[in-house]
Amino acid sequence: MSAIKEPSFRESVDMMFNRAVALMELEPGLEEKIRVVNATYTVRFGVRLRGKIETFTGYRSVHSEHMEPVKGGIRFSMGVNQDEVEALGALMTYKCALVEAPFGGSKGGLRIDPRKYNEKEMETITRRFAYELIKRDLINPSQNVPAPDMGTGQREMAWIADQYARMNTTDINARACVTGKPPHAGGIAGRVEATGRGVQYALREFFRHPKDKAAAGLTDTLGGKRIVVQGLGNVGYHAAKFLQEEDGAKITGIIERDGSLYNENGLDVEAVYQHIGEHGGVKGFAGADYAEDGSKLLEAECDILIPAALESVINLNNADRIKAPLIIEAANGPVTAGADEILRDKGTIIIPDMYANAGGVTVSYFEWVKNLSHIRFGRMQRRQEETRHQLLVNELERLDAFMGEKWSMSPDFKDKYLRGADELELVRSGLDDTMRIAYQSISEVWNSRDDVPDLRTAAFIVAISRVAKAYTAKGL
């Protein structure tokens, strides 16, 4: 055990922020304005459950309103506290700036263990929490738009959207009050997979940058790379599944609440996911080594480590034993500020949370735009695009007939080319574009300045300078 005191999550975020602003030339006082949390609302409410009243504590923190609405998930977990939501709200400000989603930063949470309650009870509690926030405009399509986070998903977002609609019967944009809704309740295709998909796109873009790859001592492509994932929830499952199925990466380790699984030849992510669904944990999964102390596997020999569960899992106690040359922070704040320094000194490359898990908020942005425009993406263009493509295919078919044996269309060209993009394809395309451009902006700062030590500092610099410009333009 290390004797050095670990900073809190919020202190960690502040330390990382301070390191970046020390390298920037901001107008005096602006730095402090950007750093501070604008407001945090704490709510305590009672709900009658199983014949007795239970009191719950929840938060909604607004870090920065340089752009509105502010955006950030709602987390249901026993670990929720003011410090945590404030740190997460600050990260949202920088994350949105980095991926150019036009939002300020916010975050919410309810201190609850969702596994203790049945669906009806969860609905009552969620609606009651939402009611408290809605009546104070802390959920509102033009002011504050939550999304899912740890312990919440489509189901909770649908309840929140419905609660808002009941309380604002004439708001035509009511559905835009929250994102991450199910498709039949105003959601968007590809939102559930978005954060994990974004992790995949982030890694693909990293591997397109030879210098960055070399800094981590990695070569070639993602194919065959050994990956350890912590947390096979929404983010971890999708990231691991796509990296395995589409990029040929080997998921050698999976860490869950009840322990870890390891197989140097790779685990079948879908099979492990199904096993967790059926048995409530990874224990008993055939064809892998199981260890009860799962966190030990964070220290395994691998090419890429993906912490996708919770914060502060890589800390002063284990940082020096982490062997992965590349860590991509799918979770928020998995590496503490102290560990960050140890890893930097060791030469470990970290793709920071602010960028790595921004896929969720990016697709949330698309969902919000869809709700405000009241039409699904692609509805106007798709068939027109197909008709125009048909013209070209007709010409190629004439050419095909004319050329005889000498030339013919590739077998699947016609089908692929004729099909206009549906909403899911458009969402993935928009997400891919966003993740590529954001990485390029960070990498450019990292590689062009000798005083910028890592991708995290570069990401903070890019994000803070955009927030600073927004404040300055407003005439603060």
In whole angstroms, the minimum distance from the beta carbon of 390 to ligand NAD comes to 38
How far is C-alpha 156 from the chain's CA centre?
A: 18
d(CA 429, CA 48): 46
- Across the strands, what pairs with 350? 327
In contact, 72 and 354? CB cutoff 8 Å: no
Name the minimum Å distance from CB 272 to ligand NAD: 11
Strand residue runs (E) in 78-149: 104-111, 144-148
Residues 6 or more apart whose Cβ sits within 8 Å of residue 374: none
Residues near ligand NAD (CB under 6 A) are 148-151, 195, 230-236, 255-257, 294, 308-310, 330-332, 357, 360
Nearest distance from C-beta of residue 361 to ligand NAD, angstroms: 7
How many CB atoms neighbour CB 131 within 10 A? 18
* Identity at 352, one-letter amino acid code: P
Which of 107, 181, 250, 370 is labelled catalytic? 107
Residue 387 CB burial class (10 angstroms; 0-12, 13-18, ≥19) = exposed
Residue located via tokens 């922020």: 17
Nearest to 282, CA basis, from 320, 229, 239: 229
What radius of gyration, in Å, describes the C-alpha atoms of the chain? 23
Do 293 and 259 contact (CB within 8 A), yes or no?
Answer: yes
Residue type for position 212: D
Which phi and psi (to 5°) does residue 269 adopt? -60, -45
- 95 is an active site residue: no
- Residue 122 is encoded by which pair of tokens? 């969860």
All residues at 6 or more sequence positions from 198 whose CB lies less than 8 Å from its CB, including other chains: 356, 357, 358, 359, 360, 362, 431, 435
User: 462: closest CA among 11, 24, 14, 9?
Assistant: 24
CB-nearer residue toward ligand NAD: 256 or 303? 256
Cα–Cα–Cα angle for 437, 440, 445, rounded to 5 degrees = 135
Compute the least distance from the CB of residue 314 to ligand NAD, in Å: 12
**For residues 326 and 219, what is the distance between their CA atoms, to the nearest angstrom?**
12
Closer residue to ligand NAD (CB): 194 or 349 = 194
Structure tokens at 73: 């998930």
- Report the candidate in 40, 26, 104, 136 with the shortest Cα–Cα distance to residue 361: 104
Bond from prior residue into 69 cis (ω within 30 degrees of 0) = yes
Residues 6+ apart with CB under 8 A from 446: 212, 452, 454, 455, 457, 458
Q: Based on CB atoms, which residue is closest to ligand NAD, 231 or 382?
A: 231
Given the complex with ligand NAD, which of 357 and 441 has the nearer CB atom? 357
The residue sitting closest to ligand NAD, measured at its beta carbon, is 233
**Cα–Cα distance measured from residue 259 to residue 32, given in angstroms and rounded to the nearest whole number:** 42
In angstroms, what is the minimal distance from the CB of 94 to ligand NAD?
Answer: 13
Q: Could you give the CA distance from residue 354 to residue 339 in angstroms, rounded to a whole number?
A: 17
Name the residues annotated as catalytic: 107
